[in-house]
Amino acid sequence: MTTTTVREATVGLLRDTGMTTVFGNPGSTELRMFRDWPDDFEYVLGLQEAAAVGMAAGHALGTGRAAFVSLHSAGGVGNALGAVFNAYRDRVPLVIVAGQQARSLIQLRPFLGVDEPTRFPRPYVKLSRQPERAADVPAVLAEAHRVAMTHPRGPVFVSVPEDDWDAEAEPVQHRAVRADFTASPEALAALAARLDACARPALVVGPGVDDESALPQVLALAERVRAGVWISPLSGRSGFPESHPLFQGFLPPVAGQLASRLAPYDVVVALGTPVFTYHVPDDAPPLAPGTELFHLDPDPAQAAWLPTGTSLVTTLRPALTQLAAVVRESGREPPPPRVRPEPVTAADRLTPELVLDELHRRLPRDRMLVEEAPSHRDVLHARVPVDRSGGFLTTGSGALGWGLPLAVGRALADRRRVVCVLGDGSAMYSVQALWTAVRHRAPVTFVVLDNGGYGAVRALGRRIDIDPVPGTDIGGIDFAGLAASFGCPADRAERPDDLGKALDRAVSGLGDEDGPHLLHLKVAGTDGTLYEPWAR
């Protein structure tokens, strides 16, 4: 093999794996990596490291490939950790490289040196390494990429001392890993037998369905056994067409409410989800007596901690294909379709219901929707149905500041317009990503629902008799003016009479080539009904 440098070998690996869009915020310990930067690579600058990770995550979800992220030493990794946590919980494949001081200085505790760098991002990465030798860097990065892309996918971390990039190393040949695996025929046959014999089956669809592009297989199974279909609590993805007659709604992250929704079913099959994602304490059992759970997911750790049911450790597409082939087509009556709320016909102020009804009227069916408005998530799910695989992204993990950069990265993946619905509190965690959206002309429409504070926290406070909750008022931010300061065109509306024209400009009137746009809407506060869904 021809001897080359670590940097040259790494560039070849990134090119072979399709990671030629690099997201980051550079510093002194990364500079040598950028020597002779190749013309076919694009560097996407985030003005804060969490924004860079969020944009990389959106790009990875849009392309289906791992994204490459460059962070600066300990401070950059620390700034990014909330977004790394989201990427880990939401199974987003990222290859994260952080700069470390020169090997000759590490023992001297230098400025910008990182003590125990591999421990810093754990446990929220699948792999964490600092190569023992400079020559090992390309091989470790190749291994990290394979780990990131193996189900369950997720972020990986490699710390690279800054003088390693100029050292000699051997080129690394990219190789594929075929990572689909399935449960045994006996396990799938036993599940098929239970579905054949049961009276009322249900499927619970989690983010793993979207992650594995398994919607056709889920649709085939649901229609064959006539199962009611629910979305798992606080799912970060879409996974089933919400206008389908078998779709029943969204499970709440409260034990008693979740068990109540699933109590009518005698067999529940959970697909790519932990099912029991709770947000507030509740002494209720996970499932009502008489409800039997089967759980299909590629993560053995998740299978180990689930409190009830039978887990099949498997990727979804091959398992569901085999299951649909052996289960009998059912003649049972399907569950009644859920009842949708009536559209708002008149209002004297902007409410979330009115805004989201009007947004739905203007939203093309193939438009990608990103959401980070926790106060209004139930209303959005009720009034803006998502009907295509990959059509919805949010934070399934709860660390705010994910949605805005996620939307930017997702738009850069295929240059198709994304609509991003944000709360005012969420937007301020990562507003720096507006600058990147402008510089790269990312086709994103940001709709900021401004209720003057952290409405979800207020609502949860009222659940446990804490009212008022200190530190939840954040009014007085001019989001349209802030966006304009970054160079992003913006509008605002405060009255129902202004809403239609503003949405027409921001949603219907913009094409994929028109770059970003922000719409600032002053809306009424929430009524405190968080996790009390509108339909049962």
CB 115 within 8 A of CB 109: yes
Domain of residue 51, residue span: 4-168
Domain endpoint, select from 168, 200, 235: 168
Say whether pLDDT at 93 is over 70.
Answer: yes
Using one digit for the tens of pLDDT, what is the confidence trace for 486-529? 999 999 999 999 999 999 999 988 999 999 999 999 998 655 45
CB 424 within 8 A of CB 450: yes
Whether residue 331 is contained in a domain is answered as no
Same domain, 238 and 364: no
Same domain, 389 and 518: yes
DSSP conformation class of 63: H
DSSP conformation class of 299: -
Whether residue 421 is contained in a domain is answered as yes
291 compared with 177, residue with greater pLDDT: 291
Q: Determine the longest span between alpha carbons in the chain, in angstroms.
A: 73
d(CA 71, CA 158): 10
CB 383 within 8 A of CB 410: no
CB 279 within 8 A of CB 234: yes
d(CA 364, CA 346): 23
Q: How many domains would you assign to the chain?
A: 3
Domain endpoint, select from 138, 168, 198: 168
Same domain, 298 and 408: no
CB 246 within 8 A of CB 229: yes
pLDDT of residue 533: 45
pLDDT of residue 453: 83
Contacts of 519 (CB under 8 A, 6+ apart): 445, 446, 447, 448, 480, 490, 491, 492, 493, 502, 503, 505, 506
- pLDDT average, residue stretch 102-117: 84
Same domain, 38 and 102: yes
Least confident of 28-32, 184-188, 200-204: 28-32
Same domain, 144 and 230: no
Say whether pLDDT at 423 is over 60.
Answer: yes
Using one digit for the tens of pLDDT, what is the confidence trace for 156-194? 999 999 999 999 999 998 888 898 999 999 999 999 999
Q: What pTM was computed for the model?
A: 0.94
CATH number of the domain residue 292 falls in = 3.40.50.1220
Mean pLDDT for all residues in the chain: 93
Token code pair at residue 259 = 């068990």
Using pLDDT thresholds of 50, 70 and 90, give the confidence band for residue 474. Answer: confident
Whether residue 461 is contained in a domain is answered as yes
Rounded to 5°, angle at Cα 30 from 25 and 34: 90
Whether residue 340 is contained in a domain is answered as no
Whether residue 26 is contained in a domain is answered as yes
Say whether pLDDT at 450 is over 90.
Answer: yes
d(CA 101, CA 198): 61
Token code pair at residue 28 = 């002194």
CATH number of the domain residue 82 falls in = 3.40.50.970
Same domain, 71 and 196: no
pLDDT of residue 104: 84
Token code pair at residue 497 = 């009479």
Token code pair at residue 335 = 């569950």
Say whether pLDDT at 316 is over 50.
Answer: yes
DSSP codes joined into one string, 175-208: ----------HHHHHHHHHHHHH-SSEEEEE-HH
- Hey, CA dihedral for 28, 30, 36, 38, is it positive or negative? negative
Whether residue 133 is contained in a domain is answered as yes
Whether residue 338 is contained in a domain is answered as no
Same domain, 94 and 221: no
Same domain, 9 and 143: yes
d(CA 299, CA 310): 14
pLDDT of residue 535: 37
Say whether pLDDT at 463 is over 80.
Answer: no
Q: Catalytic residue positions? A: 27-28, 30, 49, 72, 279, 398
Share of the chain above pLDDT 90, in %: 80
Whether residue 478 is contained in a domain is answered as yes
Say whether pLDDT at 473 is over 90.
Answer: no
Same domain, 434 and 472: yes
pLDDT of residue 468: 84
pLDDT of residue 73: 92
Same domain, 155 and 191: no
Same domain, 312 and 359: no
Q: Is 273 helix (H, G, I), strand (E, B) or coil?
A: coil
d(CA 387, CA 370): 14
d(CA 514, CA 418): 12
- pLDDT average, residue stretch 391-395: 92
pLDDT of residue 398: 83
Same domain, 164 and 200: no
CB 141 within 8 A of CB 105: no
Adjacent-strand bridge partners of 448: 422, 520
pLDDT of residue 529: 52
